[in-house]
Structure 1
Amino acid sequence: MDPENLEELLEAAFDEESSEITLPSDAPLPSKLIWIVADGSYVTKDQIIAILNPIAGNASENTRDLSDYQLLSQDTRYENIQNMGDIAQKNLILKSTISGRLIRIVENLTELNNLDHILGRIKPTSCSHEVVVHGMCANCSVHIDTSLKRKHEDLNCHAETSAVPGFITSHAGVEIDSDLAYEMECSEITKYLEDRKLCLVLDLDNTLVHATSQSPPADIDVETIEISSSSVLKTIVYNETETSYCNSFFKLRPGIFKFFRSVSKRYKLFLFTMGTRQHAQSALRILDPQGVYFGNRVFCRNDSRSCMKSLDRLFPNHKNLVLVMDDSEYVWTSKLALIKVHPYYYFSDLTYLNNYDLNNLTKSSAALQSICNYSNFVWSKIVRNSTGAKYSSPEKKAPESGQPLARDDDGFAVPAAIKISHFRYNGYLICNERPSDIYVKPAVAPKGGEKTQLFKKIRVKDNDKQLDKLITLLDEIYTRFYAQYDQAVSDLINSRNSEFIQALNGPLTPVDVKFLVYNDLLPSASLILNELREAILKDVTLYSNSPEFILPNPNARDSSSSGGLREDSELNFLLCSDFGKWARKFGARIGKLTDRVTHLVVNNRNCVRLPDEKVKKVHIKWLEAVFYCHERVDEHKFNPDNWTTPFRSFWDVLSS
């Protein structure tokens, strides 16, 4: 053998031998091992690895004044501990002289009577920097450039990269080696399965609350409601640098606390908002001041490495147990687990007024249907601007008097004494009239000894029942998930599969979770959601009276004005809007022709004749009700020919 190689082998053997953890030759005996580092932990040079306590009255001849003890061994050393909490003054500490992985041999509280007693071994290894906090390795305290290790969403989970473990903490400064993160994720899923829980990721704005910096209009009568139901609350929100703040008004969605109490029994709740962390904290001071529901599982836009939300930020590898509730699907990289929520708007929001987008019509129409938009200070602007872009029945005036001239459907003048309603919905799905019963009886207040009549206030009842409907849906998904899970485990036990440890040893283990995942035996909450959704409209074929929705002026002389339907695929509203996209997700088919149609989707009353008596005429709000209630609601209620008053939203139709 080459002499140089022989020298290397002998040197390596010496290093391996020197890694044994033993007592120094003059250590006091007997001693008790109070504490030793956990087995498998990475230790660094000069790190405390064990604490000893000499047993009083039985010390051997090695015992002397503890202050004389210094570094007594090339391999280990120990020192006094002075004034360190509950540890006695005469306790001794052992420090490692090398860095590596500690293999523990003896347990805590072991009595040591022999200097040759081996406490453990340290296997010299370089640190893999598995856990990095703010650029510093938690094991060896070396600065790490995490940008070189960072895990991208499209990389393999076992690549030599790191992951930000959202299932552990929302702090982006904590990064874990992807292999370790994978094992920890399996352990976390195992715990969820043992606790029989699923995961629910909630959006904040327009899902749980509506927030604005503007107070409600003065003529909107805001009812005083207990916070446990729903209220308008004023608070402050700091900017991102926390150098200034602004007043903010929060309107809680009706039933929000009932929703939290009910759903948290079966789901672990996460909050993921594209707002700032300060905005989320202000909301949570109202929604969850004690951190009972969300804890530290709160994510904001600073926790996302892009302008999109991704479940990879929370669970990089396995998303079988995860569902998402959000009013906007476009902010998610994957929409498989998404439960689309009806966007909740209470305060005035005219953001979408001049931005008519068929691909985002479900969102924009909800924004323009907000309760505060019924204010006299806002309403005229909405009607004027929305009708300028999309049709609403124009008001005809008699040139002599300048007063509106009412006409019936055939064009004949109607005497002014006879009141008829001509409310029409435009392309934004907004009606050109408000219900007549929205005004509160004027109050009377004394002023200077005389009574002064105050202006009328508007009160619009908030009939939103979204969270109640979602409780029912989430309970059904949960029940089906664990029914499938229990069946999968039972089948494995009955088959006596040797690879499935739980079948032989009892409690579920992370190894079992891997086995279930690799063999596609672990149910998927998102697949159950889609199965439930697709069954709701599976026997429905829709056809839309498209000119009502996408032509600038449906009063123009076309087939719709004569009571017929235009069979023109280029103008098929459902084929080019997000209403049609979501209808297909619910199992419906979109008809390009009027034959074999089960439902005719319209926007106004008496606009077209039905091609067949079996075809059901429904307002576009019927589709909204189906999407957000996750059930097939009564079509008769949504036939606009039966309406005698305009409805603000489909919630009002359901409550009528």
Structure 2
Amino acid sequence: MVSEEESSDVYVKMEKCSHEVFIEEICENCEQHIDTICSFKLGYIHKDYTVSTEERDRLRFFCLKKMMEKKKLYLILDLDHTLVHSVRTNQLSSDELLIETDSMQDIANGCLFKLELVEMVTKLRPFVRTFLKEASDLYEMYIYTRGNLAYAYNIVKLLDPENKYFGARVITRDACGEEHGKSLDRVLAAENAVVILDDLQAAWTKHLQNLILIKKFFYFEFGNNGVTSPAALKEESKTDLGLVAVLNLLQQIHQGFFAGDADADFKGRDVRQVMNRLREEICCPERRVKQKRIQAEEFIPL
């Protein structure tokens, strides 16, 4: 039986607790049931892991400090039509079911895979492996997809077989909490240091200034006899340089953000300002610095 003194101590603890971290609506500190506090579910870290707005912002500030010391920014990557194009195996025509799995070599017309566990066939966008390798030197990367957990992890295993790029930073529809669209609310990254790469502008209506919009990548096509990879799309995919252009742009954004005195307080800078300046240069070519190559026709001006 709990004594009056013990009961009083528990009550005081609950009253003083800021309810920063809780699992299954139970505060980890005071063990109080929480159902009305403003919070964010971070299911990609743990299926029942939730933090308060204040704790999320504290974690963001702490992580941002570490990123600035490393001179890194954050990069949020979509999967479908951005890094890959996938279809279900049962949608393929009989001829396409004879697909041979390609090697892991990063070649323009390679990287076609069967994902037996999720019954999908996936085509990797040309130069995606080079893109991830080069981008990882400048950015800490997340995957953010509306695909389900099983599919996302199978794709991430293809893209990052040694788990060097993403770690646990894979956000899926099972974990993101939004019914429609995507949001940085559940990402432990300060918004002033985040760049987003996606093929769908409507997915990021609250964060358009952070967005690089890339042209959709297609390899398969729906037809009367199922899904095929017609010759025209195959040839087009070979010459797809979308990720090459974006990598060039990401390098310019990173350079612009960290330009200046090496001892400067980078925490006061905002990547969105850098991106807006580059948008102005794209819209107004006469403002470009000589020999400066932007190479991003899909980089949307706002």
Would the aligned equivalents of 1:185 and 1:315 in 2 still touch at CA under 8 Å?
yes
The residue type paired with residue 275 of structure 1 is G
State the partner residue of 1:342: 215
The residue type paired with residue 346 of structure 1 is Y
- The 1:330/1:133 distance shift into structure 2, 3 A limit, reads same
State the partner residue of 2:137: 265
The residue type paired with residue 372 of structure 1 is S
Does 2:103 correspond to 1:226? yes
Alignment partner of 2:123 out of 238, 251, 254: 251
State the partner residue of 2:25: 135
Does 2:239 correspond to 1:463? yes
Would the aligned equivalents of 2:85 and 2:124 in 1 still touch at CA under 8 Å?
yes
State the distance in 2 between where 1:485 and 1:320 align.
Answer: 19
Alpha-carbon shift at residue 294 of structure 1 (Å): 0.9
State the partner residue of 1:524: 270
State the partner residue of 1:62: none
What percent of counterpart residues are identical? 27
Would the aligned equivalents of 2:86 and 2:122 in 1 still touch at CA under 8 Å?
yes
Matches within 5 A, 1:444-459: none
State the distance in 1 between where 2:261 and 2:74 align.
Answer: 15
Matches within 5 A, 1:508-547: 522-538=268-284
The residue type paired with residue 242 of structure 2 is Q
- The 1:529/1:138 distance shift into structure 2, 3 A limit, reads same
Alpha-carbon shift at residue 269 of structure 1 (Å): 0.5
Matches within 5 A, 1:548-567: none
Question: Normalized against structure 1, the TM-score is what?
Answer: 0.38
State the partner residue of 2:192: 320
Q: Deviations over 1:251-287 (max 9, x none)?
A: 0111111111111111000010011112111212222
State the partner residue of 1:305: 178
State the partner residue of 2:65: 190
State the distance in 1 between where 2:223 and 2:163 align.
Answer: 34
The residue type paired with residue 279 of structure 1 is Y
Does 2:19 correspond to 1:162? no
Q: Deviations over 1:611-655 (max 9, x none)?
A: xxxxxxxxxxxxxx851489xxxxxxxxxxxxxxxxxxxxxxxxx
Alpha-carbon shift at residue 460 of structure 1 (Å): 6.7
Does 2:11 correspond to 1:235? no
- The 1:171/1:200 distance shift into structure 2, 3 A limit, reads same
Would the aligned equivalents of 2:41 and 2:50 in 1 still touch at CA under 8 Å?
yes
Gaps of 5+ in 1: 1-44, 46-74, 76-95, 101-123, 150-160, 239-246, 352-369, 375-433, 439-457, 490-512, 517-521, 541-585, 588-624, 631-656
Alpha-carbon shift at residue 485 of structure 1 (Å): 7.3
Does 2:86 correspond to 1:206? no
State the distance in 1 between where 2:186 and 2:278 align.
Answer: 27
Aligned-CA RMSD value: 3.7
> Which aligned segments of 4 or more residues in structure 1 are displaced greater than 4 angstroms?
96-100, 219-225, 458-461, 484-488
Q: Which has the higher helix share?
A: 2
Helix, strand or coil at the partner of 2:279: helix
State the partner residue of 2:163: 291
Does 2:294 correspond to 1:627? no
State the distance in 2 between where 1:465 and 1:216 align.
Answer: 28
Alpha-carbon shift at residue 344 of structure 1 (Å): 0.7
Q: Deviations over 1:439-487 (max 9, x none)?
A: xxxxxxxxxxxxxxxxxxx977611122222221111111110115747
State the distance in 2 between where 1:476 and 1:280 align.
Answer: 29
State the partner residue of 1:279: 151
Q: Deviations over 1:110-164 (max 9, x none)?
A: xxxxxxxxxxxxxx5334432111222212334x243x11xxxxxxxxxxx2234
The residue type paired with residue 464 of structure 1 is D
State the distance in 1 between where 2:196 and 2:84 align.
Answer: 16
The residue type paired with residue 147 of structure 2 is G
Q: Larger relative CO (CA 8 A, sep 6+): 1 or 2?
A: 2
State the distance in 1 between where 2:73 and 2:243 align.
Answer: 18
State the distance in 1 between where 2:101 and 2:25 align.
Answer: 50
Would the aligned equivalents of 1:466 and 1:629 in 2 still touch at CA under 8 Å?
no
Alpha-carbon shift at residue 371 of structure 1 (Å): 8.6
Matches within 5 A, 1:466-477: 466-477=242-253
State the distance in 2 between where 1:350 and 1:339 align.
Answer: 31
The residue type paired with residue 129 of structure 1 is H
State the distance in 2 between where 1:134 and 1:485 align.
Answer: 46
Would the aligned equivalents of 2:96 and 2:228 in 1 still touch at CA under 8 Å?
no
The residue type paired with residue 467 of structure 1 is L
Question: Normalized against structure 2, the TM-score is what?
Answer: 0.78
Would the aligned equivalents of 1:220 and 1:372 in 2 still touch at CA under 8 Å?
no
State the distance in 2 between where 1:298 and 1:343 align.
Answer: 21
Helix, strand or coil at the partner of 1:330: helix
- The 1:485/1:336 distance shift into structure 2, 3 A limit, reads farther
The residue type paired with residue 180 of structure 1 is E
State the distance in 2 between where 1:134 and 1:265 align.
Answer: 36
Alignment partner of 1:479 out of 239, 255, 261: 255
Helix, strand or coil at the partner of 2:229: helix
Name which one, 1 or 2, has greater alpha-carbon Rg: 1
State the distance in 1 between where 2:269 and 2:260 align.
Answer: 6
